Amino acid sequence: MIKKIYAIVPEKDFFDFRRRCYTENMQMGEALASIVHAYAKGAKIDLKKFKIKNHHAPTGVNYVGGQ
């Protein structure tokens, strides 16, 4: 059994998720476990429309090639 899931989410999404868990009388861990279980079992959840595009700017350092 995996006990931890790590993700990077915006602060607003984190607090909105925590607030919604509270209003539905669930702990955050229970809600995450339910979401993961439902998705793994084939629930129709369109995750692509919620995906956060996180493109990092290049640092300008090229370790492989020349300058």
Under a CB-based contact definition with an 8 Å cutoff, are residues 32 and 5 in contact?
Answer: yes
Backbone angles phi, psi at 22, to 5 degrees: -60, -45
**What's this model's pTM, rounded to 2 decimal places?**
0.64
Under a CB-based contact definition with an 8 Å cutoff, are residues 18 and 28 in contact?
Answer: yes
Angle ∠(13,46,11) on CA atoms, nearest 5: 10
pLDDT digits (tens, 9 = 90+) for 34-59: 998 998 999 988 878 878 776 566 66
Is 67's pLDDT higher than 60? no
Please, what sign has the CA dihedral across residues 62, 53, 23, 32? negative
Q: What is the average pLDDT score of the chain?
A: 83
Structure tokens at 19: 């607030």
